Amino acid sequence: MKFSAWIPLAIAALLALFGSVYVVSEGQTAIVLNLGRLVRSDVGPGLHFKIPFVESARIYDRRLQVLDANPERYLTSDKQDISLDFFAIGKIQDVRAFYRATGGDEEVAVQRLAPIIKNALTGEINSRTLQQVVSGNREEVVARQLSSINKGASTLGVQIIDIRIKRVDLPEDSNVLKSVYDQMRSQRQQVASQLRAEGVEQAQKIRAEADRQQQVLVAEAERDAQKLRGEGDAQAAAIYAAAYGRDPSFYAFHRSLEAYRRSFADGKAVIVLDRNDPFLQFLRSDK
């Protein structure tokens, strides 16, 4: 047989060889279909063989994956409409069940998991108020329903490890948003009024303390001033007494001048006295 006759046979052998070998990497699993019928599943990592042109292998990732879903709307116990955005972290647990339930399509799995998670979370959200959902422990909401979620997810061959709530929004088409804003505005105004009242009270205390200190300082200054004036008057009196004691006649003359000055201070005073009155002794002329 000529060499050229071996070429088609060699090519067919190579195709048969490549068609009968498949590789499963670490973290993956595979199933084998024989003319569309599932014959082997949970094929582990390594080099494997299959019947060429008859069997086909499908490989799936068994590592953790993030399953993102569209936001869902819920009603709280106080009849408030909210939009809850979440994502699930899961993995393929049973590849045989996964293939039979979804045809091996991950998008189908996500679409079928979303209502399972939504229905499980509905009871938790319905039993909580809007404030409890927004400010409460979100992990507690998920943890209480994770087992029931996995019961539904097991029919898809999937195990949900965790569910995380990304955000809680108030739908734009509801009246909740306005009422929440009004409530927040009222709370802020209440806090502002309280702060202003505390500021006024503190200012009054500061003013009262300042007025008290002012009165104390003025009283102490007046006391010291009176004391100094008294000491000065006493010293002046002592000096006058010492000076006048040396010359009684000069003292009498000085006192008379003081009396004249006070009596005729306004320049209009009229005094009628006897010409020999002692009050006029220093006004008389000896001529």
Residue 238 scores a pLDDT above 70? yes
pLDDT (average), residues 216-244? 84
Phi and psi, residue 216, nearest 5°: -65, -45
In this prediction, residue 239 carries a pLDDT of 79
CATH number assigned to the domain covering 65-174: 3.30.479.30
pLDDT (average), residues 16-34? 79
Where does the pLDDT of residue 204 fall: very low under 50, low under 70, confident under 90, or very high at 90 and above? very high
CA R_g for the chain: 55
pLDDT (average), residues 36-59? 84
Between 116 and 7, the higher pLDDT residue: 116
Q: Are the C-beta atoms of residues 240 and 258 closer than 8 Å to each other? A: no
13-17, 78-82, 151-155, 185-189: the lowest-pLDDT one:
13-17
Residue 12 scores a pLDDT above 60? no
Residue 76 CB partners (closer than 8 Å, separation 6+): 82, 125, 126, 128, 129, 130, 132, 133
Residue 223 CB partners (closer than 8 Å, separation 6+): none
pTM score of the predicted model:
0.51
Where does the pLDDT of residue 287 fall: very low under 50, low under 70, confident under 90, or very high at 90 and above? very low
Domain ranges for the chain: 3-61, 65-174, 175-246, 248-280
Where does the pLDDT of residue 206 fall: very low under 50, low under 70, confident under 90, or very high at 90 and above? very high
Residue 104 scores a pLDDT above 80? yes
Residue 163 CB partners (closer than 8 Å, separation 6+): 86, 87, 88, 89, 117, 142, 146, 149
Q: How many residues does the chain have?
A: 287
In this prediction, residue 247 carries a pLDDT of 67
Torsion, Cα of 249, 251, 256, 257 (10° steps):
120
Q: Are the C-beta atoms of residues 65 and 90 closer than 8 Å to each other? A: yes
Residue 108 scores a pLDDT above 70? yes
pLDDT (average), residues 137-152? 80
Query: ∠ at Cα 87 (70, 171), nearest 5°?
Result: 45
